[in-house]
């Protein structure tokens, strides 16, 4: 819970106002002249949050992923609270003091995700969406983001205690790994905040550990082992496991491509004065 609050707080340190249309297209260094400190401020805030809680990095990458794959990269994932439930994204954060009316919420999300990966030591779920324009290899590459972060026990406990409606565990799961998970996630435990690292060997390092874990039958989720049921995806898992540098290079390219999904530019976009509310 604390990690998620830090994640959302890290996103909101620059909230901006722009009443006129945004006349721009996607380009590297777009804020170089209009707000030259923007990316440095984002990176500094992410670094400070990472020092307090390393789980922030995985949260920011996941936030960017879910923002882009649902109606494009528009930071809509930050919108909305209800009168009865204050969203964690509305946690107290830094005030909007820098470059008002210049930096978009979507770019802040993208910058934060990029800097999180760098802090973890480099440059999702397996969801092949052809209409998104991603190849199978790119989606396998993106699934490697599970090399950092944590998972709730409830997300995989069915593999430990009630696999396919039986009383046993998933036979494809490494027995020693399964035993360790059972110690961390006891049967019948109802604590919704109980979590384990997705890559126990290097939980705070962006490396190829996710893929080597899959090859050793230590993939945490059912979707992880599914990658080995197809010859093409299994081959990609093997390639990535052999070279962290190769995977990092492909991951960086896939993240850039993901960050370009249906981005609103020109008159189609707006820079929200409050990232949680659409401009009126």
pLDDT, tens digit only, all 280 positions of the chain: 444 444 444 444 333 322 233 344 556 666 666 666 666 666 677 677 666 665 565 566 666 566 665 555 555 556 666 565 454 455 443 334 445 554 445 445 555 554 444 444 333 334 445 556 788 899 899 889 888 888 888 888 888 998 877 768 999 999 999 999 999 999 988 787 888 998 988 888 889 999 999 999 999 988 888 889 889 999 999 999 999 999 999 988 988 887 777 766 666 667 666 666 666 6
Q: Are 173 and 216 in contact (CB under 8 A)?
A: no
Q: How far is residue 185's CA from residue 160's CA, in Å, rounded to a whole number?
A: 9
Burial class (CB in 10 A: 0-12, 13-18, 19+), 29: exposed
Which residues are annotated as part of the binding site for heme b?
146
Spot the catalytic one: 23, 64, 66, 152: 66
At 250 the pLDDT is: 94
Which residues are annotated as part of the binding site?
67, 70, 72, 74, 76, 88, 146-147, 199, 207
**Residue 241 CB partners (closer than 8 Å, separation 6+):** 208, 211, 212, 214, 215
DSSP letter for 190, please. Answer: -
At 124 the pLDDT is: 35
Which residues are annotated as part of the binding site for Ca(2+)?
67, 70, 72, 74, 76, 88, 147, 199, 207
Other beta carbons within 10 angstroms of residue 119's beta carbon come to: 21
Q: Which of 182, 170, 273 is nearest to 228 (CA)?
A: 170
**Residue 180 CB partners (closer than 8 Å, separation 6+):** 200
At 11 the pLDDT is: 41
φ and ψ at residue 165, rounded to 5 degrees: 80, 5
Does 64 participate in catalysis according to the annotation? no
At 25 the pLDDT is: 55
At 151 the pLDDT is: 85
Q: List, in order of start, the domains of the chain with CATH numbers.
A: 2-122+259-268 (1.10.520.10), 130-257 (1.10.420.10)
**Residue 111 CB partners (closer than 8 Å, separation 6+):** 38, 39, 42, 43
At 56 the pLDDT is: 60
DSSP letter for 75, please. Answer: S
Q: Which of 147, 146, 250 is nearest to 207 (CA)?
A: 147
At 213 the pLDDT is: 96
């Amino acid at each position: 819970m604390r990690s998620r609050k830090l994640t959302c707080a890290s996103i909101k340190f620059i909230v901006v106002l722009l009443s006129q249309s945004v006349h721009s297209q996607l380009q590297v260094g777009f804020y170089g002249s209009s707000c030259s400190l923007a990316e440095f401020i984002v990176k500094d805030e992410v670094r400070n949050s990472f020092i307090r809680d390393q789980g922030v990095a995985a949260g920011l990458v996941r936030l960017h992923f879910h923002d882009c794959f649902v109606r494009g990269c528009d930071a809509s994932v930050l919108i909305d609270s209800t009168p009865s439930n204050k969203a964690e994204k509305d946690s107290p954060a830094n005030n909007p003091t820098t470059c008002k009316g210049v930096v978009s919420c979507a770019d802040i999300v993208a910058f934060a995700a990029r800097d999180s990966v760098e802090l973890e030591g480099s440059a999702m779920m397996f969801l092949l969406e052809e209409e998104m324009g991603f190849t199978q290899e790119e989606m396998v590459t993106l699934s490697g983001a599970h090399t950092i972060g944590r998972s709730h026990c409830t997300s995989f406990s069915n593999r430990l205690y009630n696999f396919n409606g039986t009383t046993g565990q998933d036979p494809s799961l490494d027995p020693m790994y399964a035993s360790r998970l059972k110690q961390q996630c006891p049967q019948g435990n109802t604590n919704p905040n109980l979590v384990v690292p997705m890559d126990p060997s290097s939980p705070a390092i962006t490396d190829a550990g996710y893929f080597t874990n899959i090859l050793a039958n230590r993939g945490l989720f059912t979707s992880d082992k599914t990658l080995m049921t197809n010859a093409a995806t299994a081959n990609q898992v093997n390639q990535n496991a052999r070279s962290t540098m190769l995977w990092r290079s492909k991951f960086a390219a896939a993240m850039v491509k993901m960050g370009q999904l249906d981005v609103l530019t020109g008159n189609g976009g707006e820079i929200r004065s409050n990232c949680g509310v659409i401009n009126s």
